[in-house]
Amino acid sequence: MWKFLLLNLVLALTATALDTINISETQGSYGFAVDYQNNQFLLDGQPFRYVSGSFHYFRTPRHYWRDRLRKLRAAGLNAVSTYVEWSLHQPQPDTWMWSGEADLMHFLNLAQEEGLMVLLRPGPYICAERDLGGLPYWLLNRVPDIRFRTNDQRYMGYVTVYLNEVLKKIKPLLRGQGGPIIMVQVENEYGSYSACDIQYMVSLQQLFSHHVGTDALLYTTDGALVKMLQCGVVTGAYATVDFGVYSNVTKAFEIMRIFQPRGPLVNSEFYPGWLTHWGEPFQTVGKRAVKTKLYEMLSVGASVNIYMFYGGTNFGFTSGANGGETFSPQLTSYDYDAPLTEAGDPTPKYFAIRDVIAKYLPMPNLTIPTISPKGDYGPILMESIINLFDPLARTLFGTNQITTTTLPTFESLDLPYGLVLYEAYLPQGGPDSSILHAIATDRALVYVDSHLVSTLSRTQKTSTIPLEQPYGSRIQLLLENQGHLNYGSGMEDFKGLWNVTVNGSPIPQWNVTGFRLNTVKPLRNLESTRSNHGTLNNGPVFLKGEFTIEGKPLDTFLDTTGWGKGVAYINGHNLGRYWPLAGPQMTLYVPAPYLRRGQNELILLELEFVPRTKKMTFVTVPKLGNNTET
Ligand SMILES: *[C@@H]1O[C@H](CO)[C@@H](O)[C@H](O)[C@H]1NC(C)=O
Ligand SMILES: *[C@@H]1O[C@H](CO)[C@@H](O)[C@H](O)[C@H]1NC(C)=O
Ligand SMILES: *[C@@H]1O[C@H](CO)[C@@H](O)[C@H](O)[C@H]1NC(C)=O
Ligand SMILES: *[C@@H]1O[C@H](CO)[C@@H](O)[C@H](O)[C@H]1NC(C)=O
Ligand SMILES: *[C@@H]1O[C@H](CO)[C@@H](O)[C@H](O)[C@H]1NC(C)=O
Ligand SMILES: *[C@@H]1O[C@H](CO)[C@@H](O)[C@H](O)[C@H]1NC(C)=O
């Protein structure tokens, strides 16, 4: 261990001597570098320090990118940090997406127009509380025994293709070329990953360096612990740390100094809030603590990136899950208790941070943001359209049914997300009451003879249930992928049913149908049907409601209180999962660009429970749990 530490020290010192910048040489031309002698950054040859904010373009509609960037700038921030999400840009091995909501270049250009430098974090792994930490799900079906985040050549083959594509694209926007990107992160908190494959980091650094050269600074970010930096740092990338309000600033930077003896101090992720999982209280961080720690860091000359300054939303099925002892899927909201709310509104924390920054950086002459008006569109009556298990719904939404002896995973069905229905006949002639054993990743509703009997849950560790349905003949298991793991070891997170037995015996044959649920267009021509409220014993139901907006649409929140668990779509946009039974998130953020003047359409796929009123309401204030602002 000590030998290893010494080696790192020697490497870092060598880098110091080689990289020393002649200030007068770079003055007047574009560039970004480290001035090791004076422990500072140099932007275009001038001493520079950043206070940056994290804002992920993939968590807010493109329409709002400029608005949010301007609000960052108005708080005095001079840089924005974003991850690049591999799975968004390469949804299939032969498909690339770089336009519309995936127009990274547009986002970077807007940042520059709004007076912000950029800290770019292209991964390939990003965590970010996103599905599979930003890695595309298809890696799991192309290479089922893949070893993520290692020098596994099959993984590295795909990584190389992706990084070549993204790094070639962003090259003209690097600072050395006159663009806004000053720093490019290699991997992401790699020191927290158990593999600790140094050769992997060396290969990545070479790939990044090949494209970035000296046009921007490569860097790494790790938790402020020696054992993390040992696995996370790599020669040729500037080593930085990340920590929140509960850490000792002096101590954290002392640890950074072991690996980065000279150069500016950097906290690459300072947490002004925190993430929340379904079923736990909404996580908050007090504004006073944020103010005190930010002040402390800026007073010792550090550069800081605030993670998140603006969190946004995990629209659709993009949220991930944490693992370890308990499987914990992330909320749809990524409000994060950040200085700007999910709807982009300033909070008292925003102004507290602005006050601190104003002591250290010149403030821009920009209008102070205010809370935007919200639409109060009231209650909408939701009418049932069709049951998901109805033959017509299967035709419209399902993959072709397959009959098989082995249970396929989502990945082997090439389903990135959604639901899979597994159906079989129960063995006959057994006892009246049977025991079902099945391990579900992640959650399965269990029906016997079209009657909901129980739920299998990875989170609750429920894998054995009695089937108290005498003479039951047919079993249906509707499995939900609640988001692939985004963090920790064992991220090769296949979604499926494992080791299924009834009274200890396997079931010989299954019918399997997948539901991708990426679109609700097929409902367009269906009429509403009469149906009951209460527990949905016979399977999930699509419901539709219509409402009219007069005048310009405004942001609003869909209040799901009283309903069970499901997915909501507005005018075809998937707002994400809702789950008021678990909480703490009760409302889904509805951005104005998803609405239109005149008639609008809300569609739900409700899995479990329809309240008696059959109404969902649009409200002006979000309900995310206990927000105890201090
Ligand atoms: C720095 O650059 C200037 C101008 O090119 C040159 O005169 C000077 O010798 C350089 N100093 C060092 C230390 O390289
Ligand atoms: C913070 O860490 C420094 C350096 O390790 C130590 O001297 C100081 O006592 C710590 N402060 C607190 C409040 O623990
Ligand atoms: C709200 O706070 C109370 C008391 O701290 C706690 O018991 C409850 O679980 C919280 N509710 C939510 C939705 O976070
Ligand atoms: C600030 O901006 C306003 C509006 O654009 C302008 O009128 C004013 O002169 C500016 N003030 C300074 C100090 O630049
Ligand atoms: C499986 O599908 C076949 C063909 O549609 C059907 O005859 C059979 O009843 C199905 N089995 C179950 C358990 O639903
Ligand atoms: C299924 O059972 C086998 C054999 O008992 C066991 O090795 C395996 O870990 C089980 N799978 C899961 C997902 O628990």
Are 525 and 493 members of one domain?
A: no
User: Is residue 573 domain-resident?
Assistant: yes
State how far the Cα of 261 lies from the Cα of 241, in Å rounded to an integer.
13
Known catalytic membership, residue 269? yes
State how far the Cα of 282 lies from the Cα of 305, in Å rounded to an integer.
23
Are 502 and 527 members of one domain?
A: no
Are 219 and 282 members of one domain?
A: yes
Work out the number of other CB atoms within 10 angstroms of the CB of residue 401. 14
Are 488 and 562 members of one domain?
A: no
Q: Which of 269, 492, 606, 608 is catalytic?
A: 269
User: Is residue 34 domain-resident?
Assistant: yes
Nearest ligand to the CA of 364 is 4
User: Is residue 194 domain-resident?
Assistant: yes
User: Looking at ligand 2, which residue's alpha carbon is closest to its atom 12?
Assistant: 248
User: Is residue 538 domain-resident?
Assistant: yes
Helix (H) or strand (E) holding 255: helix 249-259
User: Is residue 343 domain-resident?
Assistant: no
Asked if 235 and 218 touch (Cβ cutoff 8 Å), the reply is no
Both tokens assigned to 617: 């309401």
Are 529 and 501 members of one domain?
A: no
Which numbered atom of ligand 6 lies nearest the CA of 499? 1
Are 132 and 80 members of one domain?
A: yes
User: Is residue 338 domain-resident?
Assistant: no
Q: What is the mean pLDDT of residues 36-62?
A: 98
State how far the Cα of 602 lies from the Cα of 615, in Å rounded to an integer.
11
Across all residues in the chain, what is the average pLDDT? Answer: 94
User: Looking at ligand 3, which residue's alpha carbon is closest to its atom 9?
Assistant: 281
| Count of structural domains within the chain | 3
Nearest ligand to the CA of 37 is 1
Please tell me the predicted confidence (pLDDT) of residue 530: 78
User: Is residue 369 domain-resident?
Assistant: no
Share of the chain above pLDDT 90, in %: 90
CATH code of the domain in which 287 resides: 3.20.20.80
Known catalytic membership, residue 480? no
Task: Give 291 Cα–ligand 3 centroid separation in angstroms.
Answer: 25
User: Is residue 432 domain-resident?
Assistant: yes
Are 563 and 453 members of one domain?
A: no
User: Looking at ligand 1, which residue's alpha carbon is closest to its atom 1?
Assistant: 22
Task: Give 324 Cα–ligand 5 centroid separation in angstroms.
Answer: 38
User: Looking at ligand 2, which residue's alpha carbon is closest to its atom 5?
Assistant: 251
State how far the Cα of 120 lies from the Cα of 541, in Å rounded to an integer.
42
Are 462 and 541 members of one domain?
A: no
Task: Give 511 Cα–ligand 5 centroid separation in angstroms.
Answer: 6
Determine whether the shortest distance from the Cβ of 24 to ligand 1 is under 6 A.
yes
Tens digits of residue pLDDT in 535-588: 999 999 999 999 999 999 999 999 999 999 999 999 999 999 999 999 999 999
User: Looking at ligand 6, which residue's alpha carbon is closest to its atom 10?
Assistant: 499
Tens digits of residue pLDDT in 514-542: 999 999 999 988 988 877 899 999 999 99
Helix (H) or strand (E) holding 249: helix 249-259
Are 28 and 142 members of one domain?
A: yes
* DSSP tally for the chain: helices H, then strands E: 13, 34
Asked if 588 and 576 touch (Cβ cutoff 8 Å), the reply is yes
CATH code of the domain in which 546 resides: 2.60.120.260
Q: What is the mean pLDDT of residues 451-459?
A: 97
Are 451 and 538 members of one domain?
A: no
Closest Cα to residue 126, out of 415, 491, 412, 576? 491
Determine whether the shortest distance from the Cβ of 299 to ligand 6 is under 6 A.
no
Nearest ligand to the CA of 253 is 2
Determine whether the shortest distance from the Cβ of 405 to ligand 3 is under 6 A.
no
Give this prediction's pTM: 0.93
Q: Which of 250, 258, 292, 296 to mutate to test the pocket of ligand 2 (most atoms within 8 A of CB)?
A: 250
Are 501 and 523 members of one domain?
A: no
State how far the Cα of 187 lies from the Cα of 137, in Å rounded to an integer.
18
Are 410 and 555 members of one domain?
A: no
Residue 422 domain boundaries: 406-508
